[in-house]
Chain A
């Protein structure tokens, strides 16, 4: 598939999970394809980074479910911050582990999972829909019942995959991409390279085979497709580009120029503009 074909399967109003973490291994080529599309009014479920920032800047988010939005080396995501401060969308603000249990519950087809996280905090105040559950055993503990985060679709990016959707991560952390895929009705996997199934174990041990093809609807080969987030060991975060993104995001005119330069064409045009940006920086 191509990124545009993936997005053609998505509809406005969907609940969309986006894998990765902060500014790490985000399916950015698929997010860029979303930006080119008419799809909007999304409920986005993400350990947020520039994926959330770009979709917020494009006005495509109706509701965001997250524990944070960050660029990692730049702590605050400027588009997310601006969107929140103008009240641009609804927010379901969960603790990091509540978010994980919500995905896990959906992947296990459970209505909720109990956790201690959230007790005593204002996460319960700002999410009046959250309920507690009392242990039926002797301890009688009253815990938070994190509802399942069921997804209409998930977008994730890994280092390698075969054409059938067996996905392989080769960096230090799987993040939660397997859970996103298992929690979704449809899951789309972009990868640095599509390889023969017989070659998957040449790149890494069996435990690098993170995502099962039964959980994947479509596979897209998008080299440099996590740019400008990190995709170790293929590449690190493009810090210079991320700085340029964050600076542009802080100013409407600069952002319009950034969009013209990088986001007005297709993925090939984006990658060419990034190459050009790097060459300029080296001069």
Chain B
């Protein structure tokens, strides 16, 4: 069985938490959840995970299954303390994201009377100025990757720098993983750059699906292959129902 696009996405999400040590991984969305659990079961065993509610889980159940072991308590008020303390790396979604990494989940259109009301800012402002933040975009398109977001919820590099040292001190966006590739901000002006493209994706395709110019290295790496044991963990242990395939188009 060949590796699916969703499985490359899972591995790319898992890689976001490589080297993070003993911190809380907060994945939002199915593919990031599988990725965080894969990281914990392989190269980042010290990561803390929650049940999505108020408990740290001591085992790593399949997605949708209940954990059998609780290793700690994390009600919302303590979760917010953990964000401020910085021992956390969140992977959020984004309705819009721009080339500096500003993100919007609040509303589309003019804020006083939006054309489409979405979630609200939620915890995106506190997340982005306190702990490492990554993003997961299951459908890479110019509607998501826009020149300018309508409402800055998650803070990008330009906005963090402009807001001063208190905003930039702990700010750091790590990666954006989409169904087409992996992107980071490792350029001199901290703008979005292609880190790798998933097998079968080329630069023209990803640029056409992006509403701003991407920085592209001379040699564009391909997202790495999952190992045999990683594939087994994804398919048999973490996501035996194949929920990952529902979040990523083939």
What residues make up the interface of A, taking CB atoms closer than 8 Å to B? 21, 48, 66-70, 75-76, 80-81, 84-87, 93-98, 100, 115-123, 125-126, 141-143, 172-176
Q: Is the CB–CB distance between A75 and B119 below 8 Å?
A: yes
Rounded to whole angstroms, the CA-CA distance of A32 and B210 in the bound complex is: 47
Partner pick for B113 among A80, A85, A117, A174, CB 8 A cutoff: A85
Identify 9 residue pairs between A and B in the complex whose beta-carbon atoms are under 8 Å apart, listed by A's number. Answer: A67-B123, A84-B113, A85-B115, A93-B111, A98-B125, A117-B84, A117-B125, A119-B125, A126-B112
Q: Is the CB–CB distance between B167 and A120 below 8 Å?
A: yes
B150-184 CB mask vs A (1 if < 8 Å, else 0) is 01111110011011111101110000000000000
Q: Is the CB–CB distance between B121 and A95 below 8 Å?
A: yes
Q: Is the CB–CB distance between B117 and A80 below 8 Å?
A: yes
Rounded to whole angstroms, the CA-CA distance of A80 and B118 in the bound complex is: 10
B106 within 8 A of A: yes
Q: Is the CB–CB distance between A68 and B120 below 8 Å?
A: yes
Q: Is the CB–CB distance between A174 and B75 below 8 Å?
A: yes
Known: A97-B84, A120-B163. A84 touches B114 (CB 8 A): yes
What residues make up the interface of B, taking CB atoms closer than 8 Å to A? 53-55, 73, 75-77, 80, 83-84, 106-107, 111-126, 128-130, 151-156, 159-160, 162-167, 169-171
Rounded to whole angstroms, the CA-CA distance of A273 and B48 in the bound complex is: 44
Q: Is the CB–CB distance between A69 and B120 below 8 Å?
A: yes
Extra inter-chain contacts (5) besides given A87-B113, A95-B121, CB under 8 Å = A94-B121, A121-B124, A121-B125, A172-B54, A172-B75
Q: Is the CB–CB distance between B119 and A68 below 8 Å?
A: yes
Q: Is the CB–CB distance between B164 and A142 below 8 Å?
A: yes
Q: Is the CB–CB distance between A116 and B167 below 8 Å?
A: yes
Rounded to whole angstroms, the CA-CA distance of A216 and B128 in the bound complex is: 36
Rounded to whole angstroms, the CA-CA distance of A118 and B126 in the bound complex is: 6
Chain A residues in 8 Å Cβ range of B53: 172-173
Chain B residues in 8 Å Cβ range of A117: 84, 125-126, 129-130
Chain B nearest CB from A71 CB (Å) reads 11
Partner pick for A76 among B80, B114, B117, B165, CB 8 A cutoff: B117
Chain A residues in 8 Å Cβ range of B118: 76
Q: Is the CB–CB distance between A95 and B125 below 8 Å?
A: yes
Known: A84-B107, A85-B115, A122-B153. A116 touches B121 (CB 8 A): no
Chain A residues in 8 Å Cβ range of B170: 116
Chain B nearest CB from A101 CB (Å) reads 9
Chain B residues in 8 Å Cβ range of A86: 113
Q: Is the CB–CB distance between B125 and A100 below 8 Å?
A: no
